[in-house]
Amino acid sequence: MTRVRAALLSSVGALLLLAGCADTTPQERGAALFVAPDLSGSPTNAASCATCHATGAIPADWIPVGGTLAGVTQRPSFFGGGELDLRTSINFCLRRFMRAPAIEPLAEDDPRGRDLLSYLETLEGPADAVPWTLGSIADDLPPGDAARGAVVWDAACRGCHGQPRTGAGRLSSLVAILPDETIEEHGADARLRTIEKVRNGQFYEAGGDMAPYSIELLSDQQLADVLAHLGLAE
């Protein structure tokens, strides 16, 4: 009976171990952080890492603005060679695209950052640097096709901007309703401003939270198609 009792007690212990600890591996906590907007520490942020990044092969119906992070921890550089340090890159994302108020949202010893790193290390993929080229801003795109643009919109834009003209389903009330708000603000320049926003994102004093679409992820033709879909054809 003592053996039975001992076995039972050991089993209880093992069950407790399993029940109590199975959901707290660094990788799993990191995976939870990956989809958590509050990682940035901003009460007004609605985006998470998963808003902009795939974690494996990119599905055909999605054009994530940040591409895939498969293999990211093995890459020699990030942002098309603009940064060599992964943690600096992540902090840059948190500040610029997720409204983090802190200068260094994830300090080197922050356990959340290390959990996130543990998760990212599970995303296997090529160790090569990923090309990421920002296009020049010009209003000389090829003619667009509105029907194709609707498909591109769903894959690239809808996740944040929701429905064109109504914004239904947009990521948050801070995200612009397109194209109406751009036309309201920029009038005849709305097309050029939209191109600029897609290609430069928030940078070069454009403002907002948007990340830029590289020409590798979104071609000039696809951008022209979206403009046609929005009624911003030349």
Partner 1 sequence: MFARVRTPAAPSPAAPLDTAPRCLANVRVIAALIVAALAIAACGEDLPSTSQWTSGHDIVRGEAPLAYISDNGSDTVSIVELRTMTLRARLPVGLDIVQREAPHHLVAAADLGALYVGLSNVLPSGLVGIHADHGGGDLDSYVQRLDIADLSPDGWVRVDSNLGDIVRVPGTSRFVTSHFDLKRALDVITAGDPIEDASAALVIIDGETMQRIASLTICIAPHGVVINTAGLAAVACYGEDSVAIVDVAASPPVLRARVPVGAAAQALPPPTYGPYAMTLSPDGSRAFVGLSEGRGYRVLDMVSASMMPGMVADVTGAAFFGAFSPDGATFYGPTQQLDTIVAIDAATLAPIASVTLDAEVCVAPHVIEYVAALGELMLVCEGDHRTAGTVVALDPATLEVRAFVAVGVYPDGISVVDEVSW
Chain contacts with partner 1 (rule: CB under 8 A)? 1-10, 12-14, 16-17, 19-21, 24-26, 29-30, 76-79, 81-89, 92, 96, 108, 111, 113-115, 117-118, 121, 134, 136-137, 201, 203-205, 212
| Residue among 135 and 162 whose Cβ is closer to partner 1 | 135
Give the number of residues written for the chain.
Answer: 234
Q: Closer CB to partner 1, residue 29 or residue 158?
A: 29
Smallest gap from Cβ 91 to partner 1, in A, equals 10
Nearest distance, CB of residue 27 and partner 1, angstroms? 8
CB of 154 to partner 1, least distance (A): 26
Shortest Cβ 118–partner 1 spacing (Å): 4
Output the CA torsion sign for 64, 215, 103, 100: negative
Alpha-carbon distance of 171 to 67, in angstroms, equals 19
Nearer to partner 1, 60 or 103 (CB): 103
* Least distance CB 162 / partner 1 (angstroms): 25
119 and 34 Cβ atoms separated by less than 8 Å: yes
In the complex with partner 1, which residue's Cβ is closer, 10 or 44?
A: 10
82/131 with CB nearer partner 1: 82
- Find the helix packing angle between 111-120 and 26-34, rounded to 10°: 90
d(CA 152, CA 14): 51
**Smallest separation (angstroms) from partner 1 to the CB of 108:** 6
Degrees (nearest 5) of the Cα angle 127, 53, 201?
110
Tokens of 70: 């498969």
- Residues 127 and 27: their CA atoms lie apart, in Å, by 20
Structure token digits, residue 3? 């053996």
Coil vs helix vs strand at 181? helix
Q: Which CB sits closer to partner 1, 25 or 44?
A: 25
Nearest-angstrom CA–CA distance, 210 and 77: 21
Mark 162-174 as b/e (b = at least 16 C-beta within 10 Å): bebeebeebbeee
